[in-house]
Each structure stands twice: as structure tokens, then as C-alpha cells.
Chain A
Amino acid sequence: MSIQQIKIRTGNQMIAEGALHAGCQFFAGYPITPASGIYKSMIEELPRRNGVAISSPDEISALAYCVGASARGAKAMTATSGPGWSLMIETVQYALMTELPVVIAVVQRLGPSTGGATQGAQGDILLTEYCTSGAYTIPIFAPSTAEECFEVASLAMFWAEELRTPVIILSDKEIGMMSEDVNFSSLVSSPVNYRKQPVNNDTDGYKTYNFKSLADVPLFSPIGGEHKTTITGSAHDKGGSLQKNSPETIEVLRHLQKKITSRAEEMAFVKTDDDPNADILIISFGITARTAREAVKLARKQGMRVRLVNVISLFPIPEKLLKKAAKGVHTIFIAEENLTGQYRSVIQHLFAGTIVIGINSFGKMITPNDILGCITL
């Protein structure tokens, strides 16, 4: 048996690998446990591949550098954890409003505030998704293994470029800092793409935020390119001119949401450990999805009929896939490492008529026995 391509890697290292594979050219970051491994890998590796990796004086600068570089045409990424993510929220809103692609890896730790630097958690789901005024949909992908970190980083880079929008990789301390064996010969990745650019030389007709249908993604021309760009985070028309609430401005705002939600089904991504005759469904993500897989293995040994769904694309919520997975089951358990059941709070409305029960823990990992105990009650 040959295992030529087995390497020992952390989830953080594999996020860096995935981003590099996807053509990331620019990284700016500020170190923070448990995300520093991404920063370190990028500082070591990106300049060797003729990209830029910069240490910034804080997280506000880190994301602003990335968004500036993105406006100049670079595929850009940063990484942080809760306290740094809080500081980046002003700029992620700006990136969303200005339709500048950027990928942010948020490696969760126990909050609130400084919280526990080396304590795992899955407590930033709602903070991350609903961080914009107006609660615009931000695509969020959550890996549960080091190999999935590669896959998800590549996916995040793809959708950021495809949709001209910020995309989040929502990892956690356990996945980020744990080392494991990674089979490099079986890594999965998305196509390497670049934001669509104007093809003609009609420089006078170019508008920074032009679209015909609300779901269209405006063609991108970089600062310094042939087309004059007019970028603003203030409410604007398709040309980027500041407006109050003109019909065109409201149309632009609707478009920001529509271009994401119209592609929701393409982004929808879950991994199912199926039992076609299941009467119980477990939904989980990130580190807890792994634990749930172990619990399902144990439950099946006891003769239970269980289906597991590991949600990779947390947002846009993969509604159809989740509803499909719920067919035929009498009870749904949603396992996540936070106090109040954050993801459950936004998906349980999909399952009217079925019992939905949260399995939650915080300050410690959920164990297979925690899950088994709940589903066998």
C-alpha cells in the first residue's frame, strides 16, 4: 500500500494551502490564537509564490489592506478569531457594499470579548452571518477536518470571486490547531477563477456597479485599470455616485442580496452519512460534526436508524437539502458547541411538524456520549 502523499497538517495550514491553490495573491493579517497558523503559513509561503503576505498593526488594518488590494485586482484573504473579527466588521460591511471580493477565515474561540484564547467554541455563527446593517447574506463555509479546510478555502475563494463579495470560512480552535494526517492525493478543490472583467474597450460606458438583472454580478475593473472606477461604501447608483434613496440606489441594495441568494442552491453543500430508513436526523457542522459521526457509529451499533448531515455551507442556509434530509424522521437533533443553539435558531423553522432538539455545550467539546445520551432518551 502506498501513501506517498500523507502529510501532517493542521486545519489552519490546510486553509492556507487551499487559498494558495485557489490563487490567493495577497494576505494581510494580525496574529491571534487560534488563527495564527494561517497567518504563519501565508507569511512563509505566499511570497515564495510571488504573492504578498503582510503583517499589519491590527485587524482593522489587516482587512482594509486586503480590500484595498482587492480593489487593485488581487485575490485577497485574511484570518482572525473573535476579538479580531469584531474589529473587522466595519470593513467587511464596506467590502460587501463596494462588491470587493475578499475571504476571511474566522477561527472561533470561546467568547465573549477576549474570552478563552485556547478554548474551542462554535459561538460566532450569528455574529458572523448577521454582522451587517441590513443582515445581508454573507456566504459562510465551515470545515470539520483538515482536508475539508483545503476544500472550503478553495470554495470560499471561488465564491468570493464569482459573486464579488466577502466570504467567510468559519473554522474553530479544534479544527484549526489540531494536527492530523492529510492525504494530499485526495484533496478536493473548486475551479480556480477570477472575477469577471469587461471584455470590450468601451471605457466610457463602464460603470463600477452595473447590472441588468438584480442577480447579475457587475463586471470588475481594477483601480489602475483601463476603466475609471468609482468605489464608495455610501449608498450609490450603478455608477458609484453617492445617492440618498433614489430608486436606482434601492435597486443596487436589493441587488447586493439578490446576487447571493439567487445562487444559494449552487452554494448549498452538505455531507450526509445516510441511513435511508432513518427516523432520527442529526444536523451538525465543524468540529461537532466529527463528534456526531462517532456518535452515529455507536448508535447504529445499538440498532438505531440515524442520518447525519454535516453542513458545510452554513449560509446561505441550504434549505432544500436540509428539508430533504428531514423527510421521514420523527426527531431532529442539532448539535453545536454554543450556549443557545445559534444555528438551530435560524434553521428550525424549516422543520415544522417535526420535533427539533438542541444538543449544546460550551467551554468544552461535545462528546459522542453527550449526543448518544440525547438521541437514545
Chain B
Amino acid sequence: MTTVQPKTFLKDSVAFPFCKGCGHHHYVHNLDRALSSLQLDPKKVCIVSDIGCIGILDSLFVSPHTFHTTHGRSTAFATGVELADGILNDSKLKTVVVIGDGGATIGLLHVVNAALMNVDVTVLVANNMLYGMTGGQHSGFSPLEFITPTTPEGNIVPPMDICAMIKSCGAEYVTSISATDKNLTNVIADAIAHPGFALVEIVELCTEFAIGNNKIDGKTIQAMAEQHNAATLPATFKRKEFCEEYKSKVLGHPSKIKNDALTQRYISSLHGTRRWVIAGTAGEKVQLSSYLLMRAGILCGLHATQKNDNPVTQGSGFSLSEVVLSSEEIYYTGIDVPDVVIISSAEGLKEVTANGTISRSNKQTVIIMEDSLPEITTSARIYRVPLRSMCTPQRATTSAVAAFIARELVIPIEAIVDSIQMHVGEKVSLYQDDIKKLLPLLS
């Protein structure tokens, strides 16, 4: 099917909503000419705008898709559109972000991230150096000494150079140009045609708020654009567009996740619920030992839950796990009175003391703890054993779990050995040796 290219993408004889003399007139006409000159199918063009005077240009366009978004966020929405187009679809869409300097100040991170990614989005920043729609407040782009309603004594904060900033993000097509520059159509067209991120700063005048109090005219604007355009565009572009990169390096690669479905192999004599608390030091496989216990229970057809706790830094301080095993579906997942508590280090003891595990233990509770730790006061039955020296700190909690299972025989010892072996392979013999050594100490 041949698509007839329109001469203009704009509505017929529509009045522009901009103030007389506003640079946005040039911006809109040049964007329209650029789209026409590229002979794009309007169905493959999306104009993404947001809040501000320039943002309402979406109502002027008749044929391209328009996506009028929230203030400053247009580049983020456009990135989403392009990711879905470039990776999930045919990648034929051209997405153009229309944003003011106010919007670019608010949503700078979105522009930065699109530039870092090098996603195929063209951002056309209409820089008139202030927020025009909301009363002429200064923006992050207002020059020093610029007088606005919010800087009546002149702006005392220097403006950002969006081009320099975005170039530092690795964007290759970045340039600045005056809204009245005769080359504007070509620059916009080149930017849109560029197969990756592109940014054009279009420097303009706000006739309503910038003129009068400020000595500013076409020459000043031209000079500003040239200053921001100090580095010329490269002769060749080296970066691969993000979606292309994603498709070649990420998409469709085989899953690394193994099939971890479990089959019941053993029978447990447990009727009811067993609640375990295992505490030790981060990095000493405390949470792994809980996982292996949980898996042993499931290998026996039991239901199981596991909850972990550790400080926010994860790799330091205590590590704690709670495991509930039950012959019935587990509803309540907390532990009021623990059945078994294993403590392998001072950090673990501190935590089970602080969180009330010890004080909530009773005569039914069995506590297996490292024998070098201080005495604790509880009605629970305590076994003090040299877990760390006998089993090494890394195996301490897992071997203690396995030894207690071997002593109690509610879960067959084969189930926990099997579970450990599924994780460590032949090294399971080290744990079996630990169990032999620990077992006499738990009688």
C-alpha cells in the first residue's frame, strides 16, 4: 500500500494559540516542515508533549499521533513508547518530544536517562528561558541577571547548558540553534532521522515575559545558541541505538533458571506444626540452612514457609530465618513460641534476644547454641555445643539443623541430607561428618 505523503502535518487554517512574536511559531512551522521533508508516514510519527505553552502544539497537528503528558515527563513517556516500538514492534515509529525549558528543568533526569540509553527519541527543547504559561517564572535555563517575575533583581543562579550536559551522557546528536535560524528545518529533520537519541535546543524569546525588562534580541539569542553549540556534530555516529543493543544482547537469551520442582521422596511423622528460628551472622549461610530445612520438609510432603531478616546492609551484622513446617496448610506464618532455636554466633544471640524469641520460648522449646556464647535465662531446654569449631562457621547452622533432625527423627535424616546434597553435591559428606560429631552432644 502506497501512502500519500502530506505536504503538511498541521491542521488546515488553524490559528496558533501563541502570543504575537513568540518563538513557538517558528518552532511549530519548522517541526512541520522537517516531518514533511523526511516524507514520513504520519501514522509512524508520535509527538509527545507536556505542560507549558509549547506543549499545546499537539492540538495543531492533524495526522501524527499525539501524546500530551504530565509536566516535564514527556521524555519518560516517549522512552516507553520507543522501547515498546523498537523491541516489541517493527521499530518504524519516530518519536519526537516537544518540551520547554521549564519542562526540561523538571524532567531533566528523563532526558538524561534517554540520552544515556541512546533510545531513538528526538527531544526538541524550546528554550525561552522561563516558565511562560504559569507567569514567567525563571527556570534552570534563565541566564544570569535575567529579570523575571520571580527574579525581579535579576537571576543570581547561572543557567545550565543542556547541550553540554547531555553530551556528557554520551548522546551523539546534540546541538543548539536559534528559532529564527534558516537552517532550523534541516537541523530538526537531521535530528529526527538520527537513529538514536538526539537533542536540539531551540533558543527563543518569550515576548510576554522576557522582553521589556531584559536587554535581549535576536543577536543575543543567536550568540547563546552558538555558545551552547561550541562542539560541532561528529562526522560519524558510533553508538548503537538502545533497542538494537537490547535485541542483540538481552532479548531471547535462554533462561538460567533451572527446573526446581520437588517430588515427595520421604515420609515425615510430623502431625501438626514445627516452628524453627535460626540465627547467626551474615555471610555464614544462615538463610541457606533455613532454605535447606524447608526443602527437606517439602521433600517429605510437608508444607513450609521461610522468612528472613537481616540489617539493611545485608552483608553485615545478624542473619535470621524463621521456618514453619506443617502437615497441614500453613495459615499463620509468624512464630510466637518457637519449637527449635539455633544460635550460631553472638550477632544471632543478640537478635533473638532483641526480637523476643528467647523470652517467648518455653519448656517445649529446644535451643541449640554455640557453646562459647554467654548464658541465657529461659525455661527452654538448652544444648550448648561447639558449633563453630566443630563444623566451621559456614556449616554451623546447617549441620545443627541436620543433627537435630537426626536426633528427633520426625523428618527422616535422608531428607535433610538429600536437600543439602542438592545444593553442595559431594561436599555433603562434610555435613554428614558434622552430624556424627554433633549427635552425641544433643542426647
Contacts and interface: CB of A to CB of B under 8 A. Distances in A.
A joins B in a complex: yes
B138 to A, nearest CB: 23
B70 A91 contact: yes
Interface string A312-345: 0000000000000000000000000000000000
Interface string A223-248: 11110111111100000111000000
Given A179-B294, A290-B331, A26 B77 contact: no
Interface in A4-51: 4-8, 25-26, 28, 33, 44-45, 47-48, 50-51
Among B69, B84, B87, B291, residue most surrounded by chain A Cβ atoms (within 10 Å):
B84
Given A8-B262, A72-B93, 10 more contacts: A2-B263, A26-B83, A61-B109, A64-B76, A68-B48, A72-B89, A90-B73, A226-B43, A228-B43, A240-B66
A69 interface: yes
Nearest to B68: A232
B237 interface: no
Contacts of A83: none
6 contacts: A6-B262, A25-B88, A45-B255, A56-B113, A69-B80, A181-B303
Contacts of B82: 68
Contact of A178 (B56, B252, B257, B333): B333
A223 B93 contact: yes
A130 interface: no
Interface stretch (B26-34, B192-200, B305-313, B425-433): B305-313
Nearest to A93: B70
A177 B307 contact: yes
B295 A8 contact: yes
Contact of A50 (B46, B80, B251, B303): B251
Contacts of A48: 252-255
Contacts of B65: 223-224, 228-231
B157 interface: no
B89 A73 contact: yes
Contact of A74 (B58, B59, B88, B331): B88
Among A71, A181, A225, A293, residue most surrounded by chain B Cβ atoms (within 10 Å):
A181
A70 to B, nearest CB: 8
Instruction: Determine chain B's interface SS by DSSP, over half rule.
Output: mixed
B81 A290 contact: no
A118 interface: yes
A8 B291 contact: yes
B427 to A, nearest CB: 21
Contacts of A51: 88
A73 B332 contact: no
Given A71-B67, A223-B65, A226-B43, A290 B333 contact: yes
A117 B311 CA distance: 10
A305 interface: no
B361 to A, nearest CB: 16
- Lowest 7 A-B CB distances belong to which pairs? A68-B80, A64-B76, A72-B84, A65-B80, A69-B84, A294-B332, A232-B68
Interface string A282-301: 00000100110111010000
Interface string B233-267: 00000000000001000111111110011111000
A231 B66 contact: yes
Among B113, B305, B312, residue most surrounded by chain A Cβ atoms (within 10 Å):
B305
Interface in A264-294: 287, 290-291, 293-294
B368 interface: no
A193 B257 CA distance: 27
A52 B334 contact: no
Interface stretch (A132-140, A151-159, A346-354, A362-370): A362-370
A118 B312 contact: yes
A28 B77 CA distance: 12
B92 to A, nearest CB: 7
A54 B263 CA distance: 35
B415 interface: no
Contacts of B250: 47
A351 B46 CA distance: 51
A179 B332 contact: no
Interface string A194-217: 000000000000000000000000
Contact of A177 (B79, B89, B308): B308
B79 A3 contact: no
B263 A4 contact: yes
B423 to A, nearest CB: 12
B202 to A, nearest CB: 23
A60 interface: yes
B298 A291 contact: no
Interface in A80-120: 90-91, 94, 117-118
B261 A5 contact: yes
B252 A367 contact: no
Contact of A232 (B58, B64, B264): B58
A64 B308 contact: no
A181 B246 contact: no
Nearest to A116: B312
B336 interface: yes
A224 B257 contact: no
Contact of B330 (A5, A180, A231): A180
Among A57, A70, A180, residue most surrounded by chain B Cβ atoms (within 10 Å):
A180
Contacts of B246: 47, 52
A118 B93 contact: no
B78 interface: yes
B94 to A, nearest CB: 10
A67 interface: yes
A291 B334 contact: yes
A377 interface: no
B301 A3 contact: yes
Contacts of A79: none
Contact of B261 (A7, A74, A242, A368): A7
B59 A241 contact: yes
A297 B66 contact: no
A68 B331 contact: no
Nearest to B273: A294
Contacts of B43: 224-226, 228
Nearest to B295: A8
Given A8-B260, A369-B336, A52 B88 contact: yes
B263 A44 contact: no
A94 B76 CA distance: 13
Contacts of B298: 3, 6, 8, 181
Nearest to B330: A180
B407 interface: no
B84 A68 contact: yes
B80 A28 contact: yes
B63 interface: yes
A5 B260 CA distance: 9
A23 B263 CA distance: 28
A33 B93 CA distance: 36
Contacts of B334: 291, 365, 367
A51 B87 CA distance: 8
Nearest to B73: A64
Contacts of A72: 80-81, 84-85, 88-89, 93
A58 B108 CA distance: 12
A50 B330 CA distance: 36
Interface string B332-346: 111010000000000
